[in-house]
A and B are shown apart, each in its own frame.
Chain A
């Protein structure tokens, strides 16, 4: 934010030195535009569009969302440059006669440019990926809650402390209850084939793999009701292997869990 304001100030200073020479003016104009654009961009960084994706209802999901925004902006710039060059070539160099154009075989300068710049972009993207990935895959050693999720053909079982098991009841899909603002560690296993534990609004999915036990954390940032799905083909009723996620306040969650535990002992 601050950076944006500084840049905007600079650009205002640039306007003062506008009228020196024609060439200078053009150059400065361009620079001002870029600085302005950068300033505007960093000012609105919080209000950037979602580009079709969910903003994430967990801290992990929000981290992913910000990485997504960075990637998609880079993608748009790369796309505009590449498509721009292509469309320029398509319209500028249309055939206009039978003469033979200059037979250019190579141009080392340009070949180096279009090799080195992509390498630099990739390094940047990798660095951002590495940081975010560690934030998302980090598993807390002292979570507020541990839930075991068992995937099977074709449903889900959620095992809470105190012998509370949430399973599908008749035609109703099971609901995964989570406390808001607390870290929950999920232990994910499969009873039969490969399933995908997928909560779109958490921006997260993980395979439930037979023979492999997976752990990951969710720290929901807002209360609400979300849909969960099986993302990996698991047989005939793959499409109907749904579940719900309900995020409630920490105290509501404790009440709910206590009630459920009393039901078990009763």
Chain B
């Protein structure tokens, strides 16, 4: 702690030579400022999101009619592989963990930048290179990777998936993985060493806690994936037989390694967005987070349990100990449930203002609750036997992942948009976007639960008229188009905000945490001065001294002793 105080003491405006920054494109290319890199991450990931969303529209068009030949089976397999891979590796993770964490976390802990600014820039460029590599697969003669985002061996070997497309996919995931690992190292170090004086661990905003725990999970999970990918590449090109039966290898090893990464990955994707939600609800309810410590321990419990649930993706392999993985998977619902009740508890008794960020968050809780409950169903092996690899699972994980990355993610996007750009967005258009997504999303995915229960497997390019899947698939496709249209509204909103700017004040939402204590957008080294940090909500304390946290004990009553010591000073 003393080191921190000596190092940054009272935050200052930055050294002179830093103020002479290049302008325009050169700034974007060369900057090591966490805010520029954070914005690079955010905009790049949103571009990938739009591309992957467009692929989803093609998928839904193919499934609109039975025996459809809108695209060939090969193209269809490429479409859903790259849709899933982009959404998970290139959008969901980098959007939150590269974008929001990079931009917001140093601000929330009162730091001038990340601990390793150059490493941070390297992370971004690895990510961009990896993302472009994946897309380049479409330009190769054999097409892009077509073995699903999970890339099961031996479908992903050189015989079954020849060509450069799959190789580009493997290299792409490795690069993006390294980018994530470097960002994780950076965030852990930043969180430990660059917190402003007074900001103890238990005064950190939940957003910071969640990013910190996410970083730890990345350090656990991603190296395993990278190792598995290197072995896959070796099988394809160096003549090893790690995943092939012929050479004495074991194909199911890939599934174990992949899901040992893959299930923590689900929480790597979700926890950052849970963090955003936990920032937004208190601000728009004018209340502190309900059950802060319980929430922190729930997050840590999720992280711990998430390393012991991977084989619930492998219940139907017949090679795993069902009761253990079932128990662990059921159990992880408990800390997740605690989070949901904590969010409701935060709203309880508050003055809840349904501005668009809050609207998105409520939509998130509705959708995510259902996704979580169907997750509990899938954690039971017998039920998984009946629904595994069907559209039931597709509906489940879209409720969870779309719920977090889009509902919570766009809640966070609109919440911090004024801080990041210095401009306001158009509230009406944001609300319209929300309602279109909310309706479109449910129309898309609720029918898919029924399709799965009626036996429609996932990843099939076509179905027969006699399967009776047609009506539900049509409804689902229409829902997808509505959802797609919502993002046109979003782009219009961004365009108007860009061409006809309304300047944003420093603290438009009466925010609680340190990022709202500086200008919108913040100056180069973030803070000219910091408010005193005596609780979890320093900016709230500053703006509402009559209801300040540090004067209150935890049950809301005023602690007389603190009151006295404050007045006697």
Contacts and interface: CB of A to CB of B under 8 A. Distances in A.
B257 interface: no
Contacts of A122: 330-331, 333-334
A75 B544 CA distance: 42
Nearest to A199: B455
B382 interface: yes
A96 B556 contact: no
Contacts of B362: 86, 90
A52 B453 contact: yes
Interface in A123-148: 125-126, 128-130, 132-133, 136-137
B450 A229 contact: no
B344 A115 contact: no
Contacts of B73: 236-239
A102 B555 CA distance: 10
Contacts of B340: 82
B383 A64 contact: yes
Nearest to B454: A200
Given A103-B547, A194-B251, A205-B316, A75 B374 contact: yes
A173 to B, nearest CB: 11
Interface in B307-352: 316-319, 322-323, 326-327, 330-331, 333-334, 337-338, 340-341, 344-345, 347-352
Name A's interface SS: mixed
Contact of B457 (A71, A128, A193, A231): A231
B502 interface: no
Given A64-B385, A93-B352, A105-B554, A114 B370 contact: no
Interface residues of B, number: 89
Interface residues on A, range: 35 or more
Nearest to B540: A103
B474 interface: no
A52 B449 CA distance: 9
A227 interface: yes
Contacts of A34: none
Contacts of B286: 100-101
Interface string B170-203: 0000000000000000000000000000000000
Interface string B268-295: 0000000000000000011111111110
Interface in A89-112: 89-90, 93-97, 99-107, 110-111
Contacts of A54: 386, 453-455
A229 B291 contact: no
Nearest to B253: A211
A194 B155 contact: yes
B518 interface: no
Contacts of B376: 71, 75, 125
A129 B389 contact: no
A119 interface: yes
A177 interface: no
Given A93-B285, A209-B319, A105 B382 contact: no
B110 interface: no
A157 interface: no
Contacts of B77: 233, 235-236, 238
A61 B387 CA distance: 12
Contact of A79 (B322, B370, B467): B370
Given A125-B330, A126-B326, A236-B77, A93 B385 contact: no
Contacts of B348: 89, 93, 104
A214 interface: yes
Nearest to B347: A89
A118 B334 contact: yes
Contacts of A221: none
Interface in A202-260: 203-207, 209-212, 214, 216, 227, 229-239
Contacts of B319: 209, 212
Contact of A194 (B152, B458, B467, B552): B152
A229 to B, nearest CB: 5
Contact of A212 (B74, B252, B549): B252
Interface in A50-74: 51-54, 61, 63-64, 67-68, 71-72
25 contacts: A71-B377, A75-B377, A85-B341, A86-B344, A86-B365, A89-B352, A93-B350, A95-B353, A101-B285, A102-B349, A103-B288, A103-B549, A103-B556, A122-B331, A122-B333, A125-B376, A126-B323, A129-B382, A205-B389, A211-B249, A211-B252, A229-B455, A232-B457, A234-B155, A236-B74
Listed from nearest, the 6 A-B pairs whose CB atoms lie closest are A200-B455, A239-B460, A203-B386, A231-B389, A114-B341, A214-B318
